[in-house]
Amino acid sequence: MSPVDTISLVNGREDRVDPADRGLAYGDGLFETMAAVDGVIGWLDYHLERLELGCRRLAIRPPDAATLRAEITEHCPPRGRCVVKLIVTRGAGARGYGPPADIEPTRILSISSWPSYPAENYSRGIRLRTLELALGENAALAGLKHLNRLEQVLAQMELRHTDAHEGLLRTTSGHVVGGTMSNVFVVRGTELATPRLARAGVAGVMRRVVLEQAGAVGLVATERDLTIADCRAADELFVTNSLLGIWPVARFDSRELAIGVHTASLMRDLGYGAAA
Amino acid sequence: MSPVDTISLVNGREDRVDPADRGLAYGDGLFETMAAVDGVIGWLDYHLERLELGCRRLAIRPPDAATLRAEITEHCPPRGRCVVKLIVTRGAGARGYGPPADIEPTRILSISSWPSYPAENYSRGIRLRTLELALGENAALAGLKHLNRLEQVLAQMELRHTDAHEGLLRTTSGHVVGGTMSNVFVVRGTELATPRLARAGVAGVMRRVVLEQAGAVGLVATERDLTIADCRAADELFVTNSLLGIWPVARFDSRELAIGVHTASLMRDLGYGAAA
């Protein structure tokens, strides 16, 4: 596929979206952004599991997993890398926040070209900067990859006025959440800590993979409340998402960090460009 | 128009929505819900003013106001009541939270049948109930009628398990915001207070109209932080939005309230069914 091509299927057909879809009206839905290599989606089971869990929490009828798998398999290019994005909304319905009882979920599968991440982000690490924007806290939505993403849009707009690659976000009560489009991990001694997502944030699939992999590189994984001070005191810092994998942090605000051995081991074990 | 008809125009054409629209992907946009009577929109200037202000705050290029007015005039039925909803999104663009530089906003105009509000909601008042769900606080989004409305969807779902007509929402730090789909007003003595919207909530057009009208009925209007205790201590309570106008509150949680003279005067002056 050419770099600008995106194909989209709405409920399995090449189509556009009903203007009355609640995904558009209210952000009433969820999404998954997945990395495909030669027709195979990385951690597809985890993505589909999170999607189903999200549907349950929002009381959206989950689309049939077999249908989703078949559709992805049919349309994912058999060669090369691409991004496979799946949106599931509550469906199209009448006006008003309260969902109608008999509503069919909408699924939108989009396949687009692979983003070109600079090799230095892996080999030399990135600059991470604390942003001013504070995220609202909502336990009912925390952890979900839902479609209400205006805060992340505003965060990216703030980030563009800096020289950093990624921005670190806190909630209104000062708890670290993660990056604008990534989860954040703090290594200190043998602890690998990442913010627990009780108030805000997205429970990333790569976050789950890294937590599961921690033991293999000699780290004890924990999910807990983290402050900016915890991030400043880190021996190693890195960010993750399903597309980029793992980026080590080489500068956090004004502090320089070396790419640590644990980060490098995780990157190597999970197949993301070896640190320099 | 028949009760189930909805017509929608995407950028002036009878069309569907691009699956890559950022309104769908991220809720990256705004909307206005307006009451039309015999082809005339109530407080159209206020709606268009709020929309433009919202676009500025989100750095969305505002659509041309003359185009919006012409489109509404052309498609709004000349007889009867209907709901005119206008969505403006940042537009369709590539994947990723950061908006592309050269992006054309999308406008979606939908015209649908008038909701049938029970006459007793005006004549006898409604039941208002404090909900458990706490809204996240975000100063950057507070006041805007943006498309990130999952909290309101969840609030409506909670409300359905009660016998109340509307639910009262607080933020995570305990400040009263308003109803799930309305603003709330508290009359005590000669003060008419409504929550200031510094942390959350929507600056409703009917809220603005009522604040402007307060003096004419002998009330001093204020926007300030309000607690549940302030609502409990009210002489009169009512909720507002552009479609329903004003509904007096006859029961707040377990407390019964009479429909007060100030509420009745505001309803009469603004043309919403006289209280019984």
Least confident of A5-19, A226-240, B76-90, B122-136: A5-19
Q: Measured between CB atoms, does A11 come within 8 Å of chain B?
A: no
- Residue at token pair 């058999």: A78
Using CB atoms, which residue from B133, B181, B199 is nearest to A140? B133
Q: By percentage, how much of chain A surpasses pLDDT 90?
A: 92
Q: Are B148 and A148 in contact (CB < 8 Å)? A: yes
Which residue ranges in chain A fall short of pLDDT 70?
Answer: 1-5, 274-276
Q: Measured between CB atoms, does B156 come within 8 Å of chain A?
A: yes
pLDDT at A244: 97
Residues of A in contact with B25 (CB under 8 A): 31, 87, 147, 149
- Distance, in Å, from the CA atom of B79 to the CA atom of A41, rounded to the nearest integer, reads 54
Asked if A83 and A243 touch (Cβ cutoff 8 Å), the reply is yes
Q: Measured between CB atoms, does A131 come within 8 Å of chain B?
A: no
pLDDT at B3: 38
pLDDT at A276: 45
- Condensed to tens digits (0 to 9), the pLDDT of residues B163-205 reads 999 999 999 999 999 999 999 999 999 999 999 999 999 999 9
What integer is the mean pLDDT of B77-96?
Answer: 94
- Residue at token pair 């670290």: A176
pLDDT at B116: 86
Which two tokens mark A128? 């991470």
Q: Measured between CB atoms, does B153 come within 8 Å of chain A?
A: yes
Q: By percentage, how much of chain B surpasses pLDDT 70?
A: 97
User: Testing the interface with B: which of A97, A145, A241 to mutate, by most B Cβ within 10 A?
Assistant: A97
- Distance, in Å, from the CA atom of B115 to the CA atom of B113, rounded to the nearest integer, reads 6
- Condensed to tens digits (0 to 9), the pLDDT of residues B202-228 reads 999 999 999 999 999 999 999 999 999
Bridge partners (DSSP) listed for residue A166: A128
Q: Are A140 and B154 in contact (CB < 8 Å)? A: yes
Nearest to B25 by CA among A33, A176, A44, A36: A33
**What is the nearest CA distance from A188 to chain B, expressed in angstroms?**
31
pLDDT at A117: 93
Backbone angles phi, psi at B4, to 5 degrees: -100, -5
Backbone angles phi, psi at A53, to 5 degrees: -60, -40
Residue B4 has pLDDT above 50, yes or no: no
pLDDT at B14: 84
Which two tokens mark B222? 């204020």
Using CB atoms, which residue from B85, B98, B153 is nearest to A97? B153
Q: Are A10 and B21 in contact (CB < 8 Å)? A: no
Q: Are B156 and A28 in contact (CB < 8 Å)? A: no
